[in-house]
Structure 1
Amino acid sequence: MTAEKTKFTTVDQYINSFSDNIQFLLEVIRETIQENAPEAEEVISYNIPAFKFHGMLIFYSAYTNHISISIPPSKVYEVFKNELSAYKVSKSAIQLPYNKPLPLKLIKEMTQFRVKENLELAEKKKSKGKISNANA
């Protein structure tokens, strides 16, 4: 019989499920995102910590050898391509290995970029709604 995976309901519960050194790293990432997206709502989504601001903004999670920063489809991967070249990057995630310092400046800049990107998308949606309502 397999052990059931914990279903996290709060970010604190998720973070506290790790060893002290990993908790510290997760808290630093959490604070960096909060400082750069102060209006974002902290949530658990896909059983990992995330921030929402006019849609999903950014996720972060811990694994055996790295912390992952996951970003929904975004131009962030193009804009920060050079900075991200030092890390293993997939379509939607950046792996930050434990044996390297956290790139807090990069996390800060990507968070700020995502806030701006989500605001622009929200404005476009709002504009489309006004246009289609005006034509109705």
Structure 2
Amino acid sequence: MTTTADHDAYIAAAPERFQPSLKRLRTLLSRALPEADEIVAYNMPGFRIGGSVVASYAAFSKQCGLYVLPGAISECAEAIAAAGLKATKTGITFSPRNPIPDELVERLAQTSRKDAGP
């Protein structure tokens, strides 16, 4: 994908099969982080509070990813595993067939927000 200026352009340029998942993530993250500014950093749409990007998302050729601060991943590790998802230090990959549950997206975003500090 090429460099994009905003969330709408990023989602529109993503593979069609991932667009509903990306729209859902954007909505959930906006609701969980109402004070955040929507940004694009490192060619990924994200949500910034103060100087910290507390959540971002991306589409790749075979999957999507949700990225948060490391403390959120470790705090939610059991719920991530229970959902049958794979996590790295800062991200969770998923497919439209096995999406991240809405309540887990919101919990990860809020935990990441808390970890970012004031």
Q: Does TM, normalized by the shorter one, top 0.5?
A: yes
* Residue equivalent to 1:102: 100
Alignment of 1:14-25 (within 5 A): 14-25=10-21
* Residue equivalent to 1:46: 42
Q: Which amino acid aligns with 1:49?
A: P
Q: Equivalents in 1 of 2:105, 2:63: separation in Å? A: 15
TM-score, normalised via structure 1 length: 0.77
Are the counterparts in 1 of residues 36 and 49 from structure 2 also a CA contact under 8 Å?
Answer: yes
Shift of 1:21: 3.6
Q: Equivalents in 2 of 1:97, 1:18: separation in Å? A: 13
Q: Equivalents in 1 of 2:2, 2:63: separation in Å? A: 20
Are the counterparts in 1 of residues 94 and 100 from structure 2 also a CA contact under 8 Å?
Answer: yes
- Pairs aligned (count): 115
Alignment of 1:1-136 (within 5 A): 6-54=2-50, 55-72=52-69, 74-85=70-81, 86-118=84-116, 121-122=117-118
Question: Between the two proteins, what is the percent identity of the paired residues?
Answer: 22
Which fold has the larger relative contact order, with Cα–Cα distance below 8 Å and residues 6 or more apart in sequence?
Answer: 2
Shift of 1:81: 1.0
Q: Equivalents in 1 of 2:91, 2:97: separation in Å? A: 18
Instruction: Give every structure 1 segment of 4 or more consecutive aligned residues whose post-TM-superposition deviation is greater than 6 Å.
Output: none
Can you give the 5+ residue segments of structure 2 that lack an aligned partner in the other structure? Answer: none
TM-score, normalised via structure 2 length: 0.87
| Distance of aligned partners of 1:6 and 1:101 in 2 relative to their CA distance in 1, 3 Å threshold | closer
Q: Which has the higher strand share?
A: 2
Residues 90-118 of structure 1 show CA distances to partners (whole Å, capped at 9, x for unaligned) of 12211012321331110011111122222
Instruction: Give RMSD over aligned pairs.
Output: 1.6
Are the counterparts in 1 of residues 68 and 91 from structure 2 also a CA contact under 8 Å?
Answer: yes
Shift of 1:84: 1.4
